[in-house]
Amino acid sequence: MSNAPTLEKGIAQNLTCNRLSRDVPIQRLKDDKLYFNSVYENETASVAIVKEVKDMVIYECRWNYSRGEARQRNFVVSVTFAEEIFTKTVTAILIGLLAVGMGIGVKLYLDKSTGGKWFNGTPPSVAMELAKEALEFQIE
Domain locations in the chain? 6-80, 83-139
Q: Is there a contact between 54 and 61 (Cβ–Cβ < 8 Å)? A: no
CATH assignment of 6-80, among 2.60.40.10, 3.30.365.10, 3.40.1530.20, 2.40.10.480: 2.60.40.10
Higher pLDDT among residues 9 and 111, named by residue: 111
Q: Please give the pLDDT value at position 38.
A: 75
Mean pLDDT of 47-51: 78
Full-model pTM: 0.44
Nearest to 78 by CA among 11, 13, 7: 7
Average pLDDT, rounded, for the chain:
73
Task: Read off the pLDDT band of 1 (50, 70, 90).
Answer: very low
Please give the residue that has the higher pLDDT: either 68 or 30: 30
Percentage of the chain beyond pLDDT 70 is 66
Bridge partners of 75, per DSSP, are: 59
Measured CA to CA, the distance from residue 12 to residue 50 in angstroms comes to 6
